[in-house]
Amino acid sequence: MAEEESHLEEGPLPVLKWDQGLFEQITRGFRFPSEWDARYPSQSETAADAPPGYITIFEDLFLQGNFRLPVTEFMAHILHHYGFHISQMSPPGMVRVRHFEFLCRSHGIEPTVEKFRVFYQLIRNVGFYSFGNRGSA
């Protein structure tokens, strides 16, 4: 992973602004099953305060990144290969992964990490991971 990673200048993480109405809209609109027990954080909690057994997923992944649950096997392979958690992916990174998978499948091609790496390289900015174009691929 380290040989591919391009570092951009990092600053402090942005302050999170919670919105319970949007949380409820996402959980209803994306049909979260009740057994997932999705929880809205309290005002004093941060993204790092998820209780044991829970993860934080940012609204931008759903609304800007076209993220859907459950994740596809290809998404799981990407996360495993690069060694970061879904909550660390930026919406533009999510868009690139999903777009690559859609294009492959629409052409009858099985998406793989090796094929993805031909076109994209890992980048990190403000504590989140994304993917940038790889040269002239």
* Arithmetic mean of pLDDT, 79-107: 92
* Band (15; pLDDT cuts 50, 70, 90): low
CA nearest to 67, candidates 37, 88, 50, 42: 88
Q: Is residue 36 part of a domain?
A: yes
pTM, whole model, 2 decimals?
0.68
Domains contained in the chain, number: 1
Asked whether residue 2 is domain-assigned, the answer is no
Task: Identify whether 79 is part of a domain.
Answer: yes
**What counts of helices (H) and strands (E) characterise the chain?**
5, 3
Between CA 19 and CA 4 the distance in angstroms is 36
Interacting residues of 89 by C-beta distance below 8 A, sequence separation 6+: 61, 65, 79, 97, 128, 129, 130
The predicted pLDDT at position 1 comes to 46
Is residue 3 situated within a structural domain? Answer: no
Q: What is the pLDDT of residues 97-129, one digit of tens each?
A: 999 999 999 999 999 999 999 999 999 987 789
Residue 8 maps to a domain: no
Is the pLDDT at 11 greater than 60? The verdict is no
pLDDT at residue 116, as a whole number: 97
What is the domain extent for residue 115?
Answer: 14-133
Greater model confidence, 66 or 137:
66
Q: pLDDT value at position 77?
A: 97
In a domain, 63, yes or no: yes
What mean pLDDT comes out for the span 16-41?
Answer: 85
Q: What is the pLDDT of residues 33-68, one digit of tens each?
A: 899 898 888 777 777 778 888 888 878 778 777 777
Quick check: is 104 in a domain? yes
Structure tokens at 48: 């790092």
